[in-house]
Structure 1
Amino acid sequence: MARRFLGPWLVLVWFAGSTAWAQADAASAGKVEQAVSQALEKARAAATALTQALMGELMKHMREGGPEAAVSVCSAKAQEITKAQQQEGVLVRRVTARPRNPQNRPDDYEQAMLVLMEHRYRKDKTASEVSDWYLEGETLTVRYLRPIVIGEMCLACHGDRQRMKPAVREFLTQHYPEDQAVGYQAGDFRGAVSVTVKTTLPPEPQKP
């Protein structure tokens, strides 16, 4: 009698334990998924804030002083505006394979993503964002890139050098002798706003 009773009881305990572990694993996966979603929201918000701040300053100086004033904004204020957008756990910057300012050179991950994004854009003119994430212990890192495409206004400083105003061309020659960010046409892929978000996961649910 004891054996007939003990067998089903052990099966019941094993089943209950397995179910609890599965629920804990599902809860852990759900926790990571939620953290990634929140980090992506933060990354998108940071990319938008930087883009709006830079464009606002650029258009203001373009109206007031033309391309000559606008190019000085890119030189003197762009990095300051970018640094002003940094938050705790959030790094945001612009990157390109053809930099004007050496500070905008991509790291290895950004370089690989820029190649992928430009390939997609040339194929179907779709300027789509890319993102990845990874865990190191309880630290979640999300990498996010939003494409930058050349607009008509950008050509005053990034188009054909021979068609630029002499003052703009002289400014670029003086301040950026190794400038690679020229020769673009409207609609060309330029680079990306790159955001890195780091956050700590909440504590794991207790397992039985």
Structure 2
Amino acid sequence: MLVALKPIYDAVGIERINVATYQAVSGSGKEAISELIDQTTKLLGGNTDVDVEVYPKQIAFNVIPHIDVFQENGYTKEEMKMVWETQKIFEDENILVNPTAVRVPVIYGHSEAINIETKTKITAAEATEILSNASGVTVMDTREDGGYATPFVEATNHDDTFVSRIREDISHEKGLNLWVVSDNIRKGAALNTIQIAEILIEEYL
């Protein structure tokens, strides 16, 4: 998320981020991958007696709105990490982040539906131009059937963060919507930190 939003933040500022993440089971490790495959195989074979061990509910053919432990405020630790990391990396304690983290029955590739409120209005065309020139970002947004990036088909085995569905929010004058996908295995915390550091070096050093 932050690799895609940092160029926009630097250009016009961001007041608020609303984001729903759709995270692959590989983010939970090999056991989670095995459980998804095992459950899927059994269910397709007509066997509804599946083992549920890694997640609190069956993950095959299901969606789980819960990643990591719940906090006192009702958010999960994964969601609060998104708040803390955004404020830390952007060096902005005032930026508002409202996340929902969801586990989906996908093996590789994380996706995010993002809505931001910018400090200064920015058009979809302006945002597209900024992102097209940003390091570590690939824009794929042709506004036609299939003209967008998906986690498995486009993002797998690529280091770049893919951004699609860039459009102005029809409910807010300074709102902007984006669809962001990346390979969560290649785009892990280490690479993400390196790419953000490279952006900071280019701009400030």
**Shared fold by TM > 0.5?**
no
Q: Which category of TM-score, normalised to the shorter sequence, fits these structures?
A: under 0.3
TM-score by structure 2 length? 0.27
